[in-house]
């Protein structure tokens, strides 16, 4: 998927027709539809605003495409195929066409729309979503320092410490054997409780953290 907030426009000219591809990160179907509406408004004088999007909205994968007046199957489906072949989600592509006076034919249109999206995708930075379980452990104040140090030494990452009247609730990510690590750190007195998910985004080809 593209990084959060990503949006770019590329242009291709084929036989005097201009193809403006707007590519954007969209996390929900509502965001995808809003992005399409914005592009239609920005290029209101164009006849065609063909589109394709793929979103993973709360675990439900949705894909949609539209030829927007071009011959059936010559725009939306080729655009969607370009996104699918690139293994992307949470992305919307809109190709705005300004007709140049020379007809391209069905095969020419298919190549033009698919190629316009592929060109935009090739220049797009990408991130990979990584989901890790969050574990919660309640620690007495008197033992907080020692237990927290043992947990971190064992590979845990403390996301949050919530101080209550009786104890401290540590929210952690633990890459390997959370039950075993907590048992060792607390001398067998506590077990971790699943407490949500930590979602991070890593730049593709890099270990650089881009979002949490």
Token pair recorded at residue 107: 């095969």
Q: Looking at the chain, which residues constitute the CATH 3.30.70.240 domain(s)? A: 128-211
The string of pLDDT tens digits covering residues 178-198 is 999 999 999 999 999 999 988
Share of the chain above pLDDT 70, in %: 96
Residue 212 has pLDDT above 90, yes or no: no
The string of pLDDT tens digits covering residues 29-79 is 999 999 999 999 999 999 999 999 999 977 789 999 999 999 999 999 999
Question: What is 128-211's CATH number?
Answer: 3.30.70.240
3-class SS letters over the chain: CCCCCCEEEEEEEECCEEEEEEEEECCCHHHHHHHHHHHHHHCCCCCEEEEEEEEEECCEEEEEEECCCCCCCCCHHHHHHHHHHCCCCCEEEEEEEECCCCCCHHHHHHHHHHHHHHHHHHCCCCEEEEEEEEEEEEECHHHHHHHHHHHHHCCCEEEEEEECCCCEEEEEECCCCHHHHHHHHCCCCCCCEEEEEEEEEEECCCCCEEEC
- What angle separates helix 76-85 from helix 105-122, to the nearest 10 degrees? 30
Could you tell me the CATH superfamily of domain 7-125? Impact, N-terminal domain (3.30.230.30)
The residue with tokens 């949705």 is: 62
- The Cα 98–Cα 40 span in angstroms is 13
DSSP β-ladder status, 91-98 and 209-211: unpaired
Instruction: Evaluate if pTM is beyond 0.85.
Output: no
């Amino acid at each position: 998927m593209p990084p959060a907030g990503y949006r770019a426009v590329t242009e291709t000219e084929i036989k005097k027709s201009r193809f403006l591809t707007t590519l954007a990160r969209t996390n929900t179907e509502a965001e995808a539809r809003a992005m399409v509406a914005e592009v239609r408004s920005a290029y209101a004088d164009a006849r065609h605003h063909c589109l394709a999007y793929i979103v993973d909205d709360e675990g439900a994968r949705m894909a949609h495409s539209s030829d927007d007046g071009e011959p059936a199957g010559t725009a939306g489906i080729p655009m969607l195929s370009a996104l699918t072949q690139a293994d992307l989600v949470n992305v919307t592509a809109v190709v705005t066409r300004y007709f140049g006076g020379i007809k391209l034919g069905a095969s020419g249109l298919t190549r033009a729309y698919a190629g316009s999206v592929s060109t935009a995708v090739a220049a797009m930075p990408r991130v990979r979503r990584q989901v890790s379980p969050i574990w919660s452990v309640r620690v007495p104040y008197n033992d907080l320092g020692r237990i927290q140090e043992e947990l971190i030494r064992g590979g845990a990452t403390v996301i949050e410490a919530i101080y209550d009247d009786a104890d401290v609730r540590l929210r952690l990510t633990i890459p390997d054997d959370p039950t075993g690590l907590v048992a060792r750190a607390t001398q067998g007195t506590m077990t971790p409780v699943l407490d949500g998910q930590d979602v991070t985004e890593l730049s593709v080809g890099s270990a650089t953290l881009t979002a949490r």
